[in-house]
C-alpha cells in the first residue's frame, strides 16, 4: 500500500516528504481570545484597543470552563470579531490585576471602551454576556 509506505517514511525520518502538504488557514487575530500573561500585556490590550472584553477566570473554576467555549464562539461572530478585542486572564496567575479590577467571583467579565471600564458581569450567564457585547460593539 502506498499510504503505509508514505506514513512509515514520515515516521522514520520525522520529516514529511515534499509530496505531503498540510493546508493551514490563517485567521484574523481578532477572531481569537487572547491570553494575558502579564500586567503589562493587560494594560496594553486595554489601552491599544477601543473595545475590549476581559474574561477573568481560574483553571479550577467549573463555570469558567463551561462558558469558555461560548466566549470563543462569540469572538468569532461577525458582529463582534472586528469590533471587540477578546482577552482572558487567570486570576491565580495575575492576582494583582484581579485585585485592581475588583474580581470577587468567577468568571467575571469586564467591558472596556477607550481604556475605561464601562460595565461588568459576574457569573457564567451567556444571555447577559451577549447583551453586554452588543452594547460594547454599538
Q: What is the DSSP string of the chain?
A: -HHHHHHHHHHHHSS--TT---------GGGSPEEE-SHHHHHHHHHHSSEEEEEEE-TT-HHHHHHHHHHHHHHHSHHHHTT-EEEEEETTTSHHHHHHHT--SSSEEEEEETTEEEEEEES--HHHHHHHHHHHH-
Going from the N-terminus, what domains does the chain have, and what CATH number goes with each? 34-137 (3.40.30.10)
Cα distance between residue 77 and residue 82, in whole Å: 9
Residue of 53, 61, 71, 133 marked active site: 61
- Confidence band for 123, pLDDT divided at 50, 70 and 90: very high
61 is an active site residue = yes
Cα distance between residue 68 and residue 123, in whole Å: 12
Q: How do beta strands 34-36 and 85-90 pair? A: parallel
> Given this model, what pLDDT does residue 82 score?
86
Report residue 102 as a C-alpha cell. 475588583
Cα distance between residue 37 and residue 15, in whole Å: 33
Residue of 36, 45, 64, 124 marked active site: 64
Is the pLDDT score of 46 beyond 70? yes
Residue linked to cell 485592581: 100
Question: 3-class DSSP state for residue 101?
Answer: helix
> Given this model, what pLDDT does residue 21 score?
42
56 is an active site residue = no
pLDDT digits (tens, 9 = 90+) for 53-88: 999 999 999 999 999 999 999 999 999 988 999 999
> Given this model, what pLDDT does residue 28 score?
43
Q: How do beta strands 108-113 and 51-57 pair? A: antiparallel
> Given this model, what pLDDT does residue 19 score?
46
Whole-number percent of the chain with pLDDT over 70: 78
pLDDT digits (tens, 9 = 90+) for 2-45: 444 444 444 454 544 444 444 444 444 444 889 999 999 999 99
Question: 3-class DSSP state for residue 111?
Answer: strand
Amino acid at each position: 500500500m502506498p499510504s503505509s509506505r508514505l506514513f512509515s517514511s514520515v515516521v522514520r525520518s520525522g520529516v514529511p516528504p515534499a509530496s505531503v502538504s498540510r493546508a493551514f488557514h490563517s485567521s484574523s487575530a481578532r477572531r481569537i481570545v487572547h491570553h494575558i500573561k502579564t500586567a503589562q500585556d493587560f494594560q496594553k490590550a486595554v489601552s491599544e484597543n477601543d473595545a475590549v472584553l476581559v474574561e477573568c477566570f481560574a483553571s479550577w473554576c467549573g463555570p469558567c470552563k463551561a462558558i469558555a467555549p461560548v466566549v470563543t464562539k462569540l469572538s468569532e461572530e461577525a458582529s463582534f470579531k472586528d469590533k471587540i478585542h477578546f482577552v482572558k486572564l487567570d486570576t491565580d496567575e495575575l492576582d494583582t490585576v484581579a485585585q485592581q479590577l475588583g474580581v470577587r467571583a468567577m468568571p467575571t467579565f469586564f467591558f472596556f471602551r477607550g481604556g475605561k471600564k464601562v460595565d461588568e458581569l459576574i457569573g457564567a450567564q451567556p444571555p447577559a454576556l451577549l447583551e453586554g457585547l452588543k452594547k460594547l460593539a454599538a
